[in-house]
Chain A
């Protein structure tokens, strides 16, 4: 926070499944990207709030009109309710970060590398009135900036909706330096659900159940142990071994990720390709899949070898980086990109 101006700077990673905020006053929060409104007056009395966000919304979902308003890293199209849900989510995040701060807030928000201009503009519109200054940044670029990996590096930020790439070449990255794939955590969940359903048709599955199994046990390569989970079947809990399905689902990320890595590296100037290959960094919640960094390192052997390393704080790396950009922008630069309140 700037003592002179009583400004609070925050960095936001608005994710399909989880959103994170990091503030200059030290506040750090991660929230599940769910918003729910009580379905009727009875539900309203039970939950005691007009709107619930995050884990609280998930836990009370039977009483709520529940929304997961982001898809592929961007606001779902065509739904006013999802727009309202994003506003509630962002208000909630900023409220958490304020921690009593009353003054103006300036926010830098990360978006997928190839987010369309119309989606970035939409996000600016949504944020007007919630914060006093808005900056939109590419998510993998924000990670690179926050990690100070600014030259001859490649960032791969793997979330739920998108996997975003950014090659840092010692200048502001262009569109050609960045890529967004729609293969990420959600596609793993989808495939996992399909595979388990095919093998165990009697088991009752839900997206939340599948996601929780993945988040607890996700891996690529050789399993350390068999993964057995409990799931209901015709009302009774049964134990099912999901090791092979989980491995297949997680490994489905490897071909598109490694191919895109190789494509981007091939577009780097030849004399710098070796350096970039040795400096590939993973961030994002889905980068926590066990063995993913080693598997991608092995994939780079095809082009002469390389090294893929997960950053120290993959869940907050995007928000940290966005905050770093926000703090480093001069007051005059913030003035340039300020718009009148909505």
Chain B
């Protein structure tokens, strides 16, 4: 019988439980030796809503159909509930939207994303760089290791809050941008967050945070930045043309902007407690291919500047990295709570950020 606390079990059940626990330790150690992630019990299904990928297809089709109608205020029977009640498409991958039909002389009314609340439970975190791609580096600090550390910390926080979380890499592996996007698309994720660390070559005295979502930009600096990040993307020119032609769909862009804003605010609010001089470089649009290739709301957070000596020192501290992870978590929670109030699930009713 169990000696203290908990629940008492019979001696046989107790012995069986101890066997299982020791077996678990052995499994973990075997995985360590073999350099692989230990097998985990299959996750219990947590998502209560209709798969967002299929729902997005239905919603998008509906939105485009609405755009074809003469301008009308939405009648009650054309509310979100009606749209969500439509039977979901059977495959997880979203169906391509039908061509929009417009009537001459009618300006299509833009439909706000908040009209169609979507569940947001499955999140893909993308630790930037990896393998032979170190990202930026300063001394022993390498961007690829920092982003992985942050992603692992963030994953733990999100999982504890009931989200289903996947990483595009969980080790020091080379993964192309195409593979990262494909991974998220295959999973039909609800949100994609790519984590990076900045290097400001010509202004090393500056420190700030900025968060991007997909979209065109006229800023030459951002164009150069996106080009640098887009190297070794895994996409061909033809692929990129095809992607760019279809990406700027209002619904996904709006959701991405909302998520990016929430994350930016959370990062700034938390990191300024430690670095009062941290600048708000804002929420921006840029054609990062890792965001372009994904089929769900996507954002890229530059969480710190390795080029700044003080920031670099902080980034070497686990406590600061913990703070960054908690800020990212808080931003995602804010986005989910505000923009997906019917997301469902037993979210703890507390603020995650202190």
| Same assembly | yes
- Contacts A150-B18, A174-B40, A337-B33: A182 and B319 contacting too (C-beta < 8 A)? yes
User: What residues of chain A lie closer than 8 Å to B322, measured between beta carbons?
Assistant: 181-182
Q: Give 1 or 0 for each of B1-42: 1 = CB within 8 Å of chain A CB.
A: 011111101000010011011111111111011010100110
Number of A-B residue pairs, CB cutoff 8 Å, is 130
Residue numbers in B under 8 Å from A278 (CB-CB): 5
Q: Does B346 contact A (CB under 8 A)?
A: yes
State whether A309 and B159 are in contact (beta carbons under 8 Å apart), knowing that A145-B21, A256-B354, A336-B26 are contacts in the complex.
no
B-chain residues with CB within 8 Å of residue A266 when the two chains form the complex: 346, 348
How long is the Cα–Cα vector from A72 to B322 in the complex, in angstroms? Answer: 12
Residues in A with CB closer than 8 Å to B237 are none
Q: Given contacts A117-B171, A150-B2, A175-B156, is CB(A182)–CB(B25) below 8 Å?
A: no
Name A172's closest neighbour in chain B (CB-CB): B24
A151–B4 touching, CB < 8 Å: no
Within 8 A of A (CB), among B303-337: 318-319, 322
B132: which A residues are within 8 A, CB to CB?
none
What chain A residues lie within 8 Å of B319 (beta carbons)? Answer: 182, 187
Interchain CB contact under 8 A, B348 and A263? yes
Q: From residue 190 to 228 of chain B, which have CB atoms closer than 8 A to chain A? A: none
Q: Does B160 belong to the interface (CB within 8 Å)?
A: yes
Could you say which of A202-210, A235-243, A325-333 contacts chain B? Answer: A325-333
Give CA–CA (A124, B352) in the complex, Å.
34
Chain B residues with CB below 8 A from A135, complex form = 25-26, 29
Q: How many angstroms from the CA of A145 to the CA of B4 in the assembled complex?
A: 11
Is B152 part of the contact surface with A, judged by Cβ < 8 Å?
Answer: yes
Q: Does B149 contact A (CB under 8 A)?
A: yes
User: B3: nearest residue on chain A (CB-CB)?
Assistant: A148
Cβ–Cβ < 8 Å partners of B140 in chain A: 77-78
Instruction: Check if B7 sits within 8 Å of A275, measured CB to CB.
Output: yes
Binary B-proximity of A124-158 (CB < 8 A = 1, otherwise 0): 10000000001111000100010111111100000
A51→B348 CA distance, assembly (Å)? 51
Interface: B162 (CB within 8 A): yes
Cross-chain contact B318 with A72 (CB below 8 angstroms): yes
Question: Does A147 lie within 8 Å of B32, measured CB to CB?
Answer: no
Does the CB pair B318–A149 fall under 8 Å?
no
| Known A150-B18, A172-B23: A279·B6 in contact at CB below 8 Å | yes
Question: What separation, in Å, do the CA atoms of A175 and B318 have in the docked complex?
Answer: 19
Find out whether the CB atom of B159 lies under 8 angstroms from the CB atom of A176: yes
**Residues 277-291 of A contacting B (Cβ, < 8 Å):** 278-279, 281
Q: Determine whether A216 belongs to the interface, using a CB cutoff of 8 Å to chain B.
A: no
Q: Are B25 and A329 in contact, with the CB atoms below 8 A? A: yes
Other-chain contact of B149, A116, A172, A339 (Cβ < 8 Å): A116
B136 to chain A, nearest CB (A): 17
Name, among B6, B26, B35, B149, the residue most crowded by chain A CB atoms within 10 Å (CB to CB). B6
- Closest chain-A Cβ to B89's Cβ sits at a distance in Å of 30
Tell whether, in the assembled complex, residue B22 and residue A329 are in contact, meaning their CB atoms are under 8 Å apart: yes
Q: Which residue of A lies closest to B139 (CB)?
A: A78
Does residue A341 face the partner (Cβ distance < 8 Å to B)?
no
Which chain A residue has the least Cβ–Cβ distance from B37?
A117
Would A151 and B7 be within 8 Å (CB), given that A114-B156, A120-B32, A337-B30 are in contact? Answer: yes
Q: Which chain A residue has the least Cβ–Cβ distance from B351?
A: A259
Q: Does B350 contact A (CB under 8 A)?
A: yes
B4 with A148: CB separation less than 8 A: yes
From 123 to 175 in chain B, residues with beta carbon under 8 angstroms from any chain A beta carbon are 140, 149, 152-153, 156, 159-162, 171
Contact A171 B20 (CB under 8 A): yes
Where the two chains meet, the residues of B that have a C-beta atom closer than 8 Å to any C-beta of A are: 2-7, 9, 14, 17-18, 20-30, 32-33, 35, 37, 40-41, 140, 149, 152-153, 156, 159-162, 171, 318-319, 322, 346, 348, 350, 352, 354
Known contacts A170-B7, A325-B21, then 6 further A-B pairs from the complex at CB < 8 Å, ordered by chain A residue: A124-B32, A171-B24, A172-B25, A259-B354, A325-B22, A329-B25
What are 11 residue pairs bridging A and B, where the CB atoms are less than 8 Å apart in the complex? A135-B25, A135-B29, A145-B21, A150-B14, A153-B6, A255-B354, A262-B348, A275-B7, A281-B4, A311-B4, A329-B26
